[in-house]
Amino acid sequence: MAIKFDGKVAIVTGAGGGLGRSHALEFARRGAQVVVNDLGGSVDGSGGSSDAADAVVEEIKAAGGTAISNGASVTDDAGVDNLVSSAMEAYGRIDILVNNAGILRDRTILKMSIEDFEAVLNVHLMGTVKPTKAVWPIMREQDHGRVIVTTSSSGLYGNFGQSNYGAAKLGVIGLINTLKLEGQKYNIHCNAVSPVAYTRMTADVFPPEAEQLMTPERVTPAVIYLASEEAPTGVIICAGAGVYAKAEITESHGAYLGGNANAEDIAKNWDKIADMSQAKAPFMGGEQTGKYFEMASDR
């Protein structure tokens, strides 16, 4: 069955180009009314213009879709309020939020300023928290919502020179790990996409041939699926070049070393502790506590 969004409203942040533009165009093609949000700044977050968001809106309208543009910064409280109120005034509901806006300020931790660390953290983490918090009561009242955050392999696995970006990108996983629980009762599903795509943010990193292979359009299907009625909740989908995979945070079964275990005991038993052959991905933190209690009580 085709995934459609007729009657649904989607907000896509950072949608003036790259991944966000691709997401916004596809949502509109599938029937959604789209709010195209983009500050219009440079890769490092400086500057701003509504031209990029307006151009995407015109693309959507030219194709027969419905959209409005919004130039608010996702880090600005008043701007986020304006983003959400504009969507509600135009369409009366918000069904989907795709948190995609981002900047880069790459440097090693030795050379990075605290200002650059905080700037990236603010856009990627707080710029996800603020729109999500703003739409949450609306989705709860509707008894329906889909929240998608954008993570990265830099957050999941690390990348040289991106401690600020990596910290923020793993931070959004911590966010949805709790929101998936808080949203269950209200049919609000919270998921993450980890994209690999050739955009202006990655043009200096990828070789030129990647531009044709790793297009944003080859990531967007994962976002569309995560916004659908069939979407799971609390998952990370990695997407790039037409390849799709699921990522998880797992924990080994572990080893019971006794209440009086010391550091030397850990060293001696490290192979058993680190054995991932029976690793599992807990759905919530309490499962870890329960496992530890059970393993210790059995002795």
Average pLDDT of span 180-191: 98
pLDDT band of 202, cuts 50, 70, 90: low
Q: Residue 225's closest CA among 253, 252, 251, 191? A: 191
Q: Which residues of 126-142 are buried (b: 16+ CB within 10 A; e: fewer)?
A: bbbbbbbebbbebbbee
Q: What is the pLDDT of residue 15?
A: 97
Q: Is 165 a catalytic residue?
A: yes
At residue 48, does pLDDT exceed 60?
Answer: no
Average pLDDT of span 12-16: 97
Q: What is the pLDDT of residue 197?
A: 85
At residue 219, does pLDDT exceed 80?
Answer: yes
* Architecture in CATH of 9-247: 3-Layer(aba) Sandwich (3.40)
Residue ranges of the domains in the chain?
A: 9-247, 263-297
179-183 own/partner pairs: CB under 8 Å, 24+ apart: 179/132, 179/147, 180/233, 180/234, 181/284, 183/139, 183/140, 183/145, 183/147, 183/233
Task: Give burial (CB, 10 Å; 0-12/13-18/19+) of 280.
Answer: middle
Catalytic residue among 91, 165, 198, 225: 165
At residue 204, does pLDDT exceed 90?
Answer: no
Contact 56, 91 (CB under 8 A): no
pLDDT band of 285, cuts 50, 70, 90: very high
